[in-house]
Structure 1
Amino acid sequence: MGAVKSAKGKRMPRAVRERQMMDAAVRTFGQRGYRAASMDEIAELAGVSKPLVYLYLNSKEELFTACIRREAQALIEAVRAGVEPGLPADRQLWTGLAAFFTHTAQHPDGWAVLHRQARTHGEPFAAVVTAMRDELVAFVTTLIGAAAREAHRGPELADRDVAGLAQALVGAAESLAGWANETGAVTAKEAAGTLMNFAWMGLGNLMEGRRWSPSR
């Protein structure tokens, strides 16, 4: 089926219609929440009939899962595209963070779906977000590991340190993006700068063998 008819009879390519329905669903889920959102509301916003929505996706749960997957993939692609290979490790981390905060700021409904809605309604939604987060953590782990290898003045970080720092950095980025979107207090670049100042200065000390200890 190459094209479908809208509620007004206008024929449109299937891919375009699917994107319109998904856009409407992300907006509705992001602003109203999974439970409060209705398929009628989504269909009206997309400009199609409710039966057509069900023709594409069989249930509200399936539609929500598709939204989570789409938004998660878009975020990962934005972060990976933002990192320029060949730059020093700190610049790669900076550009990756800037891409993350830029994307979440430009797609607040999509970020609300990932950060708030999907996490609070159990499986299978949470599993999709966990997979996205694991991919981001793995990517950040690679960047931090590269930074450690560039630090010629001190020993490399242990694998456990790198893994822990990556988890902490991604968690901080998620919280900061949520706060930035809810309050509008900072720009994407300001958020990235805040996190770099918080994380990179500490990383610099670790890479030079200086560690904080409660016994000091």
Structure 2
Amino acid sequence: MGAVKTKRMPRAVREQQMLDAAVRTFGQRGYMAASMDEIAELAGVSKPLVYLYLNSKEDLFTACIRREAAALTEAVRAGVRPGLPADRQLWDGVQAFFAHTAERPDGWSVLHLQARTHGEPFAAEVAAMRAEIVAFVTRLVAVAAREAHRDPDLPEDEVAGLAEALVGAAESLATWANATPGVTARQAALTLMNFAWAGLGDLMQGRVWTPPAEPV
């Protein structure tokens, strides 16, 4: 009898398996330490097939960054429900962010730790994702300012600075939460909201902190 032929796996499915294995390997071992042999073995394919599909280690890493960046951005956008008050929208977005980074810690490691430290092409991919999230948060802060009616014309550079600070805090907190046993995504989100929204709420109501006068 002839050998039983198995159904060939579609290329798109096989490629996602390779990316899954690569994200896990890059995320846990780092870009420099990760080997194509290890990735191929984890994906259950030959190393030549990985090269055939994804060309090189650099291209494979770029593909991982792009996939994880797109997934994170989509998760944050999908978590926000239009029509709710700005603080609820921000809360939903923050929860979505921390839930996603907790569910995909290796993907977050690739984006936040690995891609930023291994050359400009990789860092540029992450910067584009981050700029999209910052722009999204900037719009939420601007909406909050309008809703407060106290400062509907909050300067654009101040709104942008608040968004940058909020996203930066979320990034650091996500890395800390993933490395700290027992910290849930909801707890991380609540920590950020308690830290950020209290200040934003005061700002929207015109209660701003002012530095002490400089000595003459």
TM-score by length of 2: 0.93
In the alignment, is the contact (CA less than 8 A) between 1:25 and 1:63 conserved in 2? yes
Distance 2:68 2:193 in 1: 25
Matching residue of 1:23: 20
Q: Does 1:188 align with 2:178?
A: no
Matching residue of 2:71: 74
Q: Does 1:94 align with 2:91?
A: yes
Shift of 1:156: 3.7
Shift of 1:158: 1.5
Distance 1:15 1:182 in 2: 32
Matched residue SS, 1:215:
coil
Shift of 1:213: 1.2
Distance 1:10 1:185 in 2: 43
Identify the match of residue 120 of structure 1 among 98, 117, 132: 117
Distance 1:12 1:146 in 2: 48
The amino acid that maps onto 1:27 is R
Query: Aligned-pair RMSD on alpha carbons?
Result: 1.4
Matching residue of 1:162: 159
Q: Does 1:14 align with 2:11?
A: yes
Identify the match of residue 198 of structure 1 among 191, 195, 198: 195
Identify the match of residue 84 of structure 1 among 81, 85, 92: 81
Which piece of structure 1 moves more, 15-24 or 177-186? 177-186
In the alignment, is the contact (CA less than 8 A) between 1:155 and 1:209 conserved in 2? no
Identify the match of residue 146 of structure 1 among 143, 147, 150: 143
Distance 2:23 2:136 in 1: 26
Shift of 1:152: 2.1
In the alignment, is the contact (CA less than 8 A) between 1:157 and 1:206 conserved in 2? no
Q: Does 1:131 align with 2:128?
A: yes
Distance 2:64 2:93 in 1: 23
Distance 1:10 1:38, change over 3 A: farther
Identify the match of residue 50 of structure 2 among 53, 62, 68: 53
Distance 1:49 1:9, change over 3 A: farther
In the alignment, is the contact (CA less than 8 A) between 1:26 and 1:109 conserved in 2? yes
Distance 2:178 2:40 in 1: 26
Distance 1:43 1:29 in 2: 13
Shift of 1:184: 2.7
Percent of matched pairs sharing the same residue: 78
Matching residue of 2:34: 37
Matching residue of 1:5: none
Structure 1 residue ranges without an equivalent (≥5): 1-7
Distance 2:157 2:133 in 1: 17
Structure 2 residue ranges without an equivalent (≥5): none
In the alignment, is the contact (CA less than 8 A) between 1:155 and 1:208 conserved in 2? no
Matching residue of 1:4: none
Distance 2:133 2:174 in 1: 15
Matching residue of 1:3: none
Distance 1:164 1:184 in 2: 32
